[in-house]
Amino acid sequence: MSRRRRRINMPRQGVPVTTARDVAQDPSRGRRFNIKTEVVVVGSGAAGSVVAHELARAGHEVLVLEAGRYYPSSQFTEHLGDTINEVYKDQASQLNSTADVLFVEGACIGGSTVIGACVMHRPPNSLLEGWSERHGLDQMTPEKLAPLYDEIGEEQFVHLNEAHEINATAHKVIQGCEHMGFRWRPVTRNVRRCALTGHCLAGCKPDRKMSALVTHLPWAVGYGAELYADTHVTRVRIENNRATGVDAVVRDPDTGDTVAEMRVDAQVVVSAGGAIQTPLLLQRSQAPDFSGELGRNLALQPFTQVLAEFPEELYGFRGALVGVQVDEFLESDGFLFYSALAEPEQLMAQGDQGVGADHINFMLRYKHLAGLNAFSIDDGRGSVSWDGGVNDGRQIIRWNPSRKEFNRIKQSASLAARIFFSAGAKRVYMPTYQRLEVDSVFDLDKTMDEVDYGLRGMYTFRSNSFSPQGTCRMGSERSRAVVNPNGELFDVAGLFVADASLFPEPMAAAPHWTVQVLAKHVARRIEARRSSLFI
Amino acid sequence: MDNRDSRSVPATFTAGLAPLSRRGFLRASVLTGAALTSGCATLFVSREPPEELIHDHLSPEEARVATRFTEVLLPTEEHGLPSSTTVVPTVGNLDGMVGQMSPQTRELFALAFWVLEYRPMASFRFSRFTKLDDRRAQEYLVALQEGTFFERGLVTGLKSLVALNYWRDERTWPALDYHGPVTEQWGVRPLGNTPPPRTAQGRG
């Protein structure tokens, strides 16, 4: 392959991807094959796609490896249940070690950007200033990152929701906030001419969501990047403190059977599989961990969904999924709220705990419901670890709330309930493992007192995480951080991390925009050092 | 707001489990199983689930428990909805999902159904869940929901999976006034890939 690639035409729709089926049907590859490239990127989601585009545009040979399948938007069915089977990691059942916190993650070309809710949130300057000051990250000041935020904002069509993107659920939240005197605003989203299908979580069939499937990946391909789906990277090869490539297995996405083994020789390896998968890969690779922080400091930004029933028919599931946010408590308490009510299948993850007629009557009131997702900041006390051999081990995610974190979750859920009662809700369904329904704001505190911390807060609130972070934190001190301010592992030249693992401290804002900014930053630092990294 | 354990569950909710308190030894053993079901391996000594329950898809016994669970959770025909057992293939959908589960999740799932089936032995006169009549079976599930933390986890997890595999069927949606897929119906044109952006370094 030539060092500098000639730009080719970008496909109008879809992305050329080599799948397990392609590999199986190509006898020239055999059961084991090698690829040489300059840069191999592990993961094709928010971070990996940005890195691939940046480095391919700079003229590098780029290979992107994605463990999930290729599920092009032309095949989206707008059935959430089907999508869960096809592209959600572990069919949306990726859990912590006590099986009471759900980690929702995309496992497909485009990663979580395919199933995300389009929320783009630029964090307050105070957060970036704190990161910069406390972790010696001179490049992370608000002023220095501002151009990157602007670039991503332009690339992703980030805009403030317009009036037609505020649906009935969001209007109830606005109404409640106005009565309570809480600050709210329309959400900023990365969507181009939203078609208001309400199917964000099942993938955007009309290609309006600016997922990696329709932005950075086809752009990267336009500069010659290559993509493999169904390709699970087992380890990074490290020789003499230098990354030299990766080993991977190509698996049939339906049966899990191994189709081929792949060896990639590369001068730069970028891990961008997210804050769960990246530390697991580095642990499987036995990457040096001088600080002892690899896989630690896991923050979840846990959220629960509070559902409210109104007397009138809202059809709150129609229109743009996320309309408004409540940021009154963002800087004071670390709480953030987003209006949202998705497909009927989504209701299984929250709210109702009835059986028989109770459950069915709850579902029959679907068109009367509104939802508010209550996010609260946590303290980054969790961990991710790989237990066992490279090929037969398993991941363990450890996170249970401390009493302080438990109280934050409880408080944020209570605030969401108050907002709905102020908007006229006649009943609120609390997101707890025990069945809690509240029919009056005057009963709210008493009812919430029934949720006891118990044993490590287990099976109290039905918490979810869309945004794990912090497991390979970035910093200037080798004794406190896993990667340096360039995103490179302290003791392994040529091995970079470019995803939410980098966050040096938990953040209360939605992380998507910041993840893409950090990915761009890491890619630019790689390019700035091209003379020392590339032969 | 405090965290005192001031919960006072109405007696009707716990009636189904009342005899359990008189059989402490059984409670301890069954609840330990339930705790393991709930994935509490970090807190308790790990124990392998019964070997015969581990299969690629639902075993005959699991399918029997799942079907009974579906009947009790979703008595749909009484509400004019498509049957959860004869029209919507709820258990069949579940079986497909089980076939794609990771080994760890599959183990937990197998043990969860085992505990669900045998847990009433301690409180319902040595009856299995599948042998309880409709009223008692519903009482049992309600009691689990109001029970200890791992009982709540057990029943919530199973309920979510089974209900998901019913309500995902589009034949259930008219009753909810839910629109389902719309892009083709509305004639929304896919925009395809987004043009590369203009940046300081030039277009694309």
Written as one string, the DSSP assignment of B115-144 is HHHHGGGGTTTT--GGGS-HHHHHHHHHHH
Q: Domain boundary residue among A446, A465, A484?
A: A465
Contact A452 B7 (CB under 8 A): yes
Contact A459 B73 (CB under 8 A): no
Q: Domain boundary residue among A441, A465, A489?
A: A465
Q: What is the pLDDT of residues A297-328, one digit of tens each?
A: 999 999 999 999 999 999 999 999 999 999 99
- A210 interfacial to chain B (CB closer than 8 Å): yes
- A79 interfacial to chain B (CB closer than 8 Å): yes
pLDDT of residue A389: 93
Q: What is the pLDDT of residues A43-89, one digit of tens each?
A: 999 999 999 999 999 999 999 999 999 999 999 999 999 999 999 99
Q: Domain boundary residue among A442, A465, A488?
A: A465
Backbone angles phi, psi at A237, to 5 degrees: -85, 130
Q: What is the pLDDT of residues B150-199, one digit of tens each?
A: 899 999 999 999 999 999 999 999 999 999 999 999 999 999 999 987 65
User: Which residue bears the tokens 């000594």?
Assistant: B45
Lowest mean pLDDT segment, chosen from A34-38, A111-115, A208-212, B49-53: B49-53
CA-to-CA dists, residue A244 to A60, A295, A484, A492, angstroms: 16, 22, 19, 10
Q: Mutation test of the interface with chain B: which of A355, A436, A441, A444, choosing the one with the most B Cβ atoms within 10 A?
A: A355
* Domain identity same for A272 and A383: no
* Domain identity same for A252 and A343: no
Local structure of residue A6 (DSSP, 8 states):
P
* Domain identity same for A164 and A196: yes
CA distance A460 to chain B (A): 7
Q: What is the pLDDT of residues A39-55, one digit of tens each?
A: 999 999 999 999 999 99
State the amino acid at position A17 in one-letter form: V
Q: List CB contacts (< 8 A) between B163 and chain A.
A: 348, 359
Show Cβ contacts of residue A510 under 8 Å, excluding neighbours closer than 6 positions. A119, A120, A121, A336, A338, A375, A467
B181 closest CB neighbour out of A78, A91, A95: A78
* Domain identity same for A446 and A478: no
* Domain identity same for A185 and A318: yes
Q: Is there a domain that residue A14 lies in? A: no
Q: Which domain holds residue A416?
A: 80-107+115-120+158-201+300-465
CA distance A93 to chain B (A): 8
Long-range Cβ contact pairs of A60-63 (< 8 A, separation 24 or more): A60/A527, A60/A534, A61/A1, A61/A3, A61/A5, A61/A37, A61/A224, A62/A37, A62/A38, A62/A220, A62/A223, A62/A224, A62/A225, A62/A226, A63/A35, A63/A37, A63/A39, A63/A225, A63/A226, A63/A228, A63/A264, A63/A266
Q: List CB contacts (< 8 A) between A360 and chain B.
A: 74-76, 79, 81
pLDDT of residue A258: 96
| Predicted complex: ipTM over 0.90 | yes
Q: Is there a domain that residue B4 lies in? A: no
pLDDT-derived band at A6 (thresholds 50, 70, 90) equals low
CA distance A435 to chain B (A): 7
- A520 interfacial to chain B (CB closer than 8 Å): no
| Structure tokens belonging to residue A311 | 């007397």
pLDDT-derived band at B13 (thresholds 50, 70, 90) equals very low
Q: Is there a domain that residue A127 lies in? A: no
Q: Is there a domain that residue A423 lies in? A: yes
Q: How many CB atoms lie within 10 A of CB B68?
A: 21
* Domain identity same for A191 and A85: yes
Total domain count for chain A?
A: 2
Specify the higher pLDDT residue, B196 or A230. Answer: A230
Q: List CB contacts (< 8 A) between A410 and chain B.
A: 1, 3
Q: Is there a domain that residue B117 lies in? A: yes
Q: Is there a domain that residue B2 lies in? A: no
Contact A360 B76 (CB under 8 A): yes
| Structure tokens belonging to residue A330 | 């963002």
Q: Is there a domain that residue A13 lies in? A: no
Q: Which domain holds residue B73?
A: 11-203
Q: What is the pLDDT of residues A400-452, one digit of tens each?
A: 999 999 999 999 999 999 999 999 999 999 999 999 999 999 999 999 999 99
Q: What percent of chain A has pLDDT over 70?
A: 98
Q: Is there a domain that residue B3 lies in? A: no
For residues A439 and A490, the answer to whether their CB atoms sit within 8 Å is no
CA gyration radius for chain B? 22
Q: Which of residues 217-236 of A touch B (CB under 8 A)?
A: 218-219, 222
Angstrom distance (rounded) from CA A394 to CA B185: 43
Show Cβ contacts of residue A9 under 8 Å, excluding neighbours closer than 6 positions. A222
In total, chain A counts a number of residues equal to: 535
Lowest mean pLDDT segment, chosen from A461-470, A507-516, A522-531, B24-33: B24-33
Contact B190 A207 (CB under 8 A): yes
Q: Is there a domain that residue B53 lies in? A: yes
In total, chain B counts a number of residues equal to: 204
Total domain count for chain B?
A: 1
Q: Mutation test of the interface with chain B: which of A309, A434, A443, choosing the one with the most B Cβ atoms within 10 A?
A: A434
Q: Is there a domain that residue A206 lies in? A: no
Angstrom distance (rounded) from CA B192 to CA A134: 43
pLDDT of residue A232: 98
Q: List CB contacts (< 8 A) between B74 and chain A.
A: 356, 359-360
Q: List CB contacts (< 8 A) between B165 and chain A.
A: 81
B72 closest CB neighbour out of A90, A356, A403: A356
Q: Is there a domain that residue A172 lies in? A: yes
pLDDT of residue B186: 96
pLDDT of residue A303: 96
Q: Is the pLDDT of residue B43 over 70?
A: no
* Domain identity same for A290 and A323: no
Q: What CATH number is associated with residue A164?
A: 3.30.560
Q: Which of residues 394-413 of A touch B (CB under 8 A)?
A: 394, 398, 403, 406-407, 410-411
Q: Is the pLDDT of residue A24 over 50?
A: yes
Q: Is the pTM of this model over 0.95?
A: no
* Domain identity same for A46 and A175: no
Q: Is there a domain that residue B6 lies in? A: no
Q: Is there a domain that residue B154 lies in? A: yes
pLDDT-derived band at A116 (thresholds 50, 70, 90) equals very high
* Domain identity same for A178 and A304: yes
Q: Is the pLDDT of residue B48 over 70?
A: no
Q: Is the pLDDT of residue A36 over 80?
A: yes
Angstrom distance (rounded) from CA A71 to CA A108: 7
* Domain identity same for A266 and A399: no
3-state secondary structure of A48: helix
Q: What percent of chain A has pLDDT over 90?
A: 93
Q: Is there a domain that residue A151 lies in? A: no
For residues A382 and A345, the answer to whether their CB atoms sit within 8 Å is no
* Mean pLDDT of the residues in chain A: 95
Q: List CB contacts (< 8 A) between A344 and chain B.
A: 167-168, 172-173, 176, 178
Four-CA torsion A351, A413, A306, B4, nearest 10 degrees? 30
- A528 interfacial to chain B (CB closer than 8 Å): no
CA A270 and chain centroid, separation: 17
Q: How many A-B residue pairs are in contact by the CB < 8 A criterion? A: 229
Q: Residue A384 region, left (φ>0) first, then alpha (ψ -120 to 50), else beta?
A: beta
Four-CA torsion A202, A205, A206, A208, nearest 10 degrees? 40
Q: Is there a domain that residue A232 lies in? A: yes
Q: Mutation test of the interface with chain A: which of B168, B173, B189, choosing the one with the most A Cβ atoms within 10 A?
A: B168
* Domain identity same for A405 and A268: no
* Domain identity same for A306 and A250: no
Query: Please, what is the Cα angle at A288 between A284 and A290, to 5 degrees?
Result: 135
Lowest mean pLDDT segment, chosen from A103-117, A334-348, A352-366, B46-60: B46-60
